[in-house]
């Protein structure tokens, strides 16, 4: 499969995942004949032009969807960088009308981290829900869920994997430490000692690794997260789509194929890390996943915590089952939160090693009515 054809195949899946009508996505893709920077019929130019149409008619979220695909799979080159900037600015304009979504900017030693957030309150802190996508998913794709998550009783924060969107940090084996870093920065405005992580694909791997170390993380919900085999299985690697491989080269900053394979081996979750996962984990797997090996969720089920897996007959991310995936994850999240299931919470703003006996009791858990509302 050549580069442009592979781009189009993945775009159909990501367009569907963002709620774009398949017929419209197909119409846009028919207009694209190349991926040559500056060409009016190139990938970035055509998707950006469609986003401009949506922006002019005032549909800013639809514009975001198109701009996100214009910068796909990563914002390299002037056309894609412009699409990335337009995606952020269109969303920023939309969220200002909402008045309950704020922009957060953090300076990390590795780079800058930007998030969209709602429900943060230093007077009545809510349990934290941190949401993050994979290696090609910008935060603007998920942020429209923020108002719903706030209504369900969470302080919700949407971020990006290192190297994606506005996150300028490099992606490396220690990137999981960005999650405790964010919990530290959000302490006081959210109950970080009762944190849930809805981290999809490669960010799910970071969430699992962080949860093994940080007692504030009480539950992890993920879709198609790599665990170990993706990073170490030499027989699986040749099957990984070229776009995925190229994106990993870009995010890690490692151009040499051999060096990338060596680096990725350091990402694999060891047996000791898996044994430390004593929290509820909810994992959506796809039976025809072309990126993540099928054995990953089986390996994860060896963890001593409550690990449950939902399998859809689909490709990576289960884009054809978006509704079912969201319902299962959200209902699982609310059920776990409502019943108080999870590791004993640490005190807000503290990390691993906190004495459970010194921790405050849970308050502000989503109500039974909000749990029922998720199924309406």
User: For the chain, which ranges sit under pLDDT 50?
Assistant: 344-376
Predicted local distance difference test score (pLDDT) of residue 186 = 98
Sequence-distant contacts of 19-28: CB under 8 A, at least 24 apart: 19/65, 19/322, 20/65, 28/66
Q: How many Å apart are CA 300 and CA 304, to the nearest integer? A: 9
pLDDT of residue 142: 87
Report pLDDT digits (tens) over 176-234: 999 999 999 999 999 999 999 999 999 999 999 999 999 999 999 999 999 999 999 99
> What local confidence, expressed as pLDDT, does residue 285 receive?
95
Q: What pLDDT score does 87 carry?
A: 98
Q: Token digits for 367?
A: 């109500």
Backbone phi and psi for residue 102, each to the nearest 5 degrees, phi listed first = -120, 155
Tell me the per-residue pLDDT of 89-101, one tens digit each, with 9 for 90 and over: 999 999 998 889 9
Q: The pTM is what? A: 0.89
How many secondary structure helices (H) and strands (E) does the chain include? 15, 8
């Amino acid at each position: 499969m050549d580069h442009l054809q592979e781009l189009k195949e993945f775009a159909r899946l990501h367009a569907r995942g963002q709620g774009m009508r398949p017929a419209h996505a197909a119409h846009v893709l028919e207009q694209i004949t190349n991926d040559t920077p500056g060409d009016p019929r190139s990938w970035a130019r055509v998707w950006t032009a469609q986003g401009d149409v949506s922006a002019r008619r005032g549909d800013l979220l639809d514009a975001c969807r198109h701009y996100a695909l214009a910068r796909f799979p990563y914002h390299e080159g002037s056309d894609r960088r412009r699409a990335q900037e337009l995606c952020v600015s269109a969303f920023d304009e939309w969220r200002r009308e909402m008045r309950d979504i704020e922009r957060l900017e953090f300076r990390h030693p590795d780079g800058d981290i930007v998030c969209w957030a709602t429900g943060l309150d230093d007077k009545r802190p809510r349990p934290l829900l941190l949401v993050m996508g994979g290696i090609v998913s910008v935060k603007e794709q998920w942020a429209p869920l923020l108002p719903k998550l706030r209504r369900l009783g969470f302080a919700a924060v949407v971020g990006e994997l290192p190297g994606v969107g506005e996150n300028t940090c490099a992606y490396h084996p220690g990137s999981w430490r960005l999650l405790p870093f964010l919990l530290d920065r959000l302490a006081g405005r959210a109950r970080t000692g009762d944190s849930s992580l809805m981290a999809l694909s490669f960010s799910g791997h970071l969430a699992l690794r962080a949860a093994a170390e940080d007692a504030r993380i009480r539950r992890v919900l993920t879709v198609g997260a790599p665990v170990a085999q993706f990073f170490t299985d030499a027989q699986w690697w040749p099957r990984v789509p070229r776009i995925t491989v190229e994106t990993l080269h870009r995010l890690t900053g490692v151009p040499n194929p051999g060096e990338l394979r060596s680096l990725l081996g350091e990402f694999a979750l060891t047996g000791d890390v898996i044994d430390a996962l004593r929290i509820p984990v909810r994992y959506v797997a796809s039976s025809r996943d072309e990126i993540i090996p099928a054995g990953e969720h089986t390996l994860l089920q060896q963890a001593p915590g409550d690990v449950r897996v939902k399998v859809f007959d689909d490709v990576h991310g289960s884009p054809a089952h978006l509704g079912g995936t969201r319902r299962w994850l959200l209902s699982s999240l609310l059920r776990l939160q409502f019943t108080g299931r999870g590791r004993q919470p640490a005190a807000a703003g503290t990390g691993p090693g906190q004495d459970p006996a010194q921790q405050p009791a849970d308050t502000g858990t989503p109500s039974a009515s909000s749990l029922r509302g998720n199924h309406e």
